[in-house]
Amino acid sequence: MAEKIIILDFGSQVTQLIGRRLRELNVYCEIYPFNKVPALDADVKGVILSGSPCSVRDSNAPQIDLSGIKGVFPLLGICYGAQYLAYRFGGDVEGSLSREYGRATMQVVREDSPLLSGVPASSQVWMSHGDTISRLPEGAEVIASTENVTNAAFSFKGEKTYAVQFHPEVFHTTEGSRILGNFALGICGCKGDWTPDSFIETTVEAIRKQVGDDKVILGLSGGVDSTVAAALLNKAIGHNLTCIFVNNGLLRKNEYEDVLESYKSMDLNVIGADASEEFLAELAGVSDPETKRKIIGRLFVETFDKYARTVGNARWLAQGTIYPDVIESAGIEGIASKIKSHHNVGGLPEKMNLKIVEPLRMLFKDEVRRVGRALGIKDELVGRHPFPGPSLAIRIIGEITEEKLRVLREADDIYIRGLRNYDCSSLHLPSASDPRVEAKTLYDAIWQAGVILLPIKSVGVMGDERTYENPVALRAVVSTDAMTADWFHFPYDFLANVSNEIINKVKGVNRVVYDISSKPPATIEWE
């Protein structure tokens, strides 16, 4: 990999956003825990220190040796990173002096500062700090202030070291991308040439070098990550790649047949593994969501292993691991809790004694989609919403039956078709798969959508008869990485039409509700 910026994570919940903003500038970057600093070679063009939930004044506050970084590489401290630079080099940081949370107005003090080049004299920034830098270290000077915080941004004279008390990575800092661009493209001198095409070229070469003439097996899910991983591997090693698409009996209407056909049209070497009867038989009578997940996970491993053994001499297992998986699986001991274990592994490497190849492990989801489009993958695959690994099993609250699956599939099909067919170009909504372009349909504007079948019944009236049937809940959220999500604000006519069609056409449903919960406190899925 060529030039890059290293982001050292002190446990902030928005550290990933720093990386995403740099990637949007076509600048490659990598995120590491503050206590696992990588070797800083000639490819490193700069270093960023992230925010943190800690106070620099705490006895157990995260510490880092900056002797080989500050004054050697361009350096930017953000929030905690700024406070640490001030505190570590002789300044004062005090608590409860001038707390700021939320929007603030930044006034530029030094117009000639390279970090603030092109930034208006007054602009909105996003603050989130309880401690305040009350005195700068010797050799540092203020370059921007807010009404309540004098040292909102500062720099060290004679070196490329800068610090900002606010968060330039969040959307609410209106000039945040410009500030980060000034640092990465200006101060660090990055070329900004890390594009999907350049990624494909270097990754294909790396795959060929890594696996040679060995055979590789990949589990396809129909989702974006595994599809793009398959296309990259196929470009690199051709039919030395064998893909396995498992039908667990819990997919959406016609999904197994339609997706399998799409993969074959991509010239992928695909095996369709229909194990729907086995999955449904073992799930019969099971209501607990965690038990359902474990049964599905175990059966997937067993089914995949069974079909993979028909591929002779395979030595590699390919996975659609993406960068948020890597970051979340690492965690920072004692500061940022590990959000989840590595969910793509699923026990397969240990069971099958295979080596792992993960061509997408340094990409965010929106970057995966851009790479997919650059590879020529059809947009109905690249632009697909995320879909849970346990499939419809966790959208049926309680026990799973064939009848419940029928009802849910029919309702979901009406809902998703409605999203795809609704022209929203006049609403000027950003596309969920690429926020830099406008969405053409409601499906494009939404990160994830689905129908949940509820385990209750309600009274209804159809014609002259009373009914006693199930309600379904519609779910639709906007997000960037599923860590947080907000409910989508539908046009009322869409909700009215979809509700009417589901109730009229899906036998077993007499009521439709819309879930307007955000994540947190709710989750995207119900189970």
What does the block give as tokens for 126?
């996003």
Say which residue the tokens 């992928």 belong to.
268
Q: Are 57 and 331 in contact (CB under 8 A)?
A: no
Q: Where are the beta strands (DSSP E) in 109-227?
A: 122-135, 140-146, 153-156, 161-164, 215-220
Burial of 228 (0-12, 13-18, 19+ CB in 10 A): buried
The strand pair at 4-9 and 29-33 is best described as parallel
Q: Are 175 and 183 in contact (CB under 8 A)?
A: no
Chain centroid to Cα 418, Å, comes to 25
**From CA 444, how far away is CA 422, in angstroms rounded?**
10
What value, to the nearest 5°, has the Cα angle with vertex 223 and ends 218 and 225? Answer: 65
User: Of the candidates 393, 422, 441, which has an alpha carbon nearest to the alpha carbon of residue 282?
Assistant: 393
Q: Are 256 and 250 in contact (CB under 8 A)?
A: no
pLDDT tens, N- to C-terminus, the chain (527 residues): 579 999 999 988 788 889 989 998 999 999 999 998 998 989 999 999 999 888 888 888 889 999 999 999 999 999 999 999 999 999 999 876 555 567 899 999 999 999 999 999 999 998 876 788 999 999 999 999 998 889 999 999 999 999 999 999 988 899 999 999 999 999 999 999 999 999 999 999 999 999 999 999 999 988 899 999 999 999 999 999 999 999 999 999 999 999 899 898 898 999 999 999 999 999 999 999 999 999 999 999 899 989 988 888 889 999 988 887 777 665 555 444 333 333 344 445 555 678 899 999 988 888 899 999 999 999 888 999 999 889 999 999 999 999 999 999 999 999 999 999 999 999 999 998 877 789 999 999 999 999 999 999 999 887 768 888 999 999 999 987 677 789 999 999 999 999 999 999 999 999 999 999 999 889 999 99
User: Of the candidates 459, 518, 516, which has an alpha carbon nearest to the alpha carbon of residue 484?
Assistant: 518
Q: Where are the beta strands (DSSP E) in 221-334?
A: 241-247, 270-274, 314-318
Q: Are 408 and 396 in contact (CB under 8 A)?
A: yes
Q: Decide: helix, strand or coil at residue 444.
A: helix
Q: How is the beta sheet containing 29-33 ordered, strand by strand? A: 29-33, 4-9, 44-49, 75-78, 161-164, 153-156, 140-146, 92-108, 122-135
What value, to the nearest 5°, has the Cα angle with vertex 29 and ends 158 and 25? Answer: 85
Residue 98: DSSP 8-state: E
Peptide linkage before 521 cis (omega within 30 of 0): yes
Please list the active-site residues: 79, 167, 169
Q: Are 169 and 21 in contact (CB under 8 A)?
A: yes
Phi/psi at 428 (nearest 5 deg)?
Answer: 55, 55
**From CA 451, how far away is CA 326, in angstroms rounded?**
30
Instruction: Compute how many other C-beta atoms are within 10 angstroms of the C-beta atom of residue 291.
Output: 11
Q: How far is CA 315 from CA 226, 242, 493, in A?
A: 18, 12, 54
Residue 68: what pLDDT?
A: 92
Q: Are 133 and 165 in contact (CB under 8 A)?
A: yes
The strand pair at 355-357 and 314-318 is best described as parallel
**From CA 381, how far away is CA 335, in angstroms rounded?**
38
What does the block give as tokens for 313?
């001499």
Give the contacts of 289 (CB within 8 A, at least 6 positions apart): 394, 527
**From CA 398, how far away is CA 82, in angstroms rounded?**
50
Residue 425: DSSP 8-state: G
List alpha helices for 375-491, DSSP H.
379-382, 402-421, 442-445
Residue 339: what pLDDT?
A: 33
Q: How far is CA 155 from CA 71, 77, 148, 177, 217, in A?
A: 12, 10, 19, 19, 51
Give the contacts of 142 (CB within 8 A, at least 6 positions apart): 109, 110, 136, 150, 151, 152, 153, 154
The strand pair at 465-478 and 486-487 is best described as antiparallel
